Amino acid sequence: MPEATGRQSIFITGAASGMGRETARLFQQQGWFIGAFDLNQAGLEALQAELGADNCLIGQLNVSDKIAYEQAINSFDAATGGLMDILFNNAGIAMRGFFDEIPFEEQMRLVQVNFVGVLNGIHTALPLLKATPNALCFTTSSSSATMGMPLIAVYSATKHAVKGLTEALSNEFRRHDIRVADVLPGLIRTGMPDDTMLAAASDTGAFRVIEAIEVAKVVWEAYQSDTLHWYVPEELAELDKAAGNNPERLRDKLARQL
């Protein structure tokens, strides 16, 4: 098993592709030890080959399975000597459609992965975070956590839950010297937005297509900061303000677009 051997360490879910993969690359380049976990074993093996077997611990993980999460954290614990500088709860799934046309079981799968998976991660990793000075608990929320978005209602609800949890724990965990923050990405070029969404995106504005590396850079910046919410791109912060100041106006604007 690879070992951190004194290096700072980050545990990343959804690490086989997209934002998680770019974050693993960036942190390894900065000399960190990487824990990369995902359901995609082939993607993990490709990442490990790129980063080097001594720099990266990989493992398959369904984040909605608490027992499997405990096993993953135990392996990371053994590799780092019980330390974790960053927990990056990044794994997530999405699906589009009208609420009343998506099977209930699929909606519950969204909840289990996108929110229960985050709870599993924080609960399980907390002893390592507590043992590490100035640790960071960081989670991928979404621009859809600024205002409930049509056609992704349950996805949007899970990301609102993540945002609220982040805000609450950012105060609670101060007593453990653990910082808590999240990122609210817009339209990121990953496997999640389909080709139709990417093709329809504007070249400018808050919902232009952003490369996944930009989210990875935010994770790096967040470790050096005490900022609570990170927006990618930054213009999304204005959407958050608009939703708080006049939700009816933003609701009606979304209705016209729908």
Residue 112, domain extent: 9-257
Q: Does 241 reside within a domain?
A: yes
pLDDT in tens, the chain (258 residues): 899 999 999 999 999 999 999 999 999 999 999 999 999 999 999 999 999 999 999 999 999 999 999 999 999 999 999 999 999 999 999 999 999 999 999 999 999 999 999 999 999 999 999 999 999 999 999 999 998 999 999 999 999 999 999 999 999 999 999 999 999 998 777 665 555 555 555 555 566 778 999 999 999 999 999 999 999 988 888 888 888 888 888 888 877 776
Q: Which residues pair with 35 in a beta bridge?
A: 11, 57
**Closest-CA residue to 218 (of 237, 242, 239):** 237
Q: How far apart are CA 204 and CA 4, in angstroms?
A: 41
Q: How far apart are CA 217 and CA 222, in angstroms?
A: 9
Neighbours of 209 (CB within 10 A): 15
Structure tokens at 11: 């545990």
Q: Does 4 reside within a domain?
A: no
pTM of the predicted model as reported, rounded to 2 decimal places: 0.93
Q: Residue 57's domain is classified under what CATH number?
A: 3.40.50.720
In Å, how far are 58, 103, 137, 163, 190 from 129, measured between CA atoms?
19, 37, 8, 20, 29
Neighbours of 233 (CB within 10 A): 16
Q: How far apart are CA 94 and CA 123, in angstroms?
A: 23
Q: Does 60 reside within a domain?
A: yes
How many domains would you assign to the chain? 1
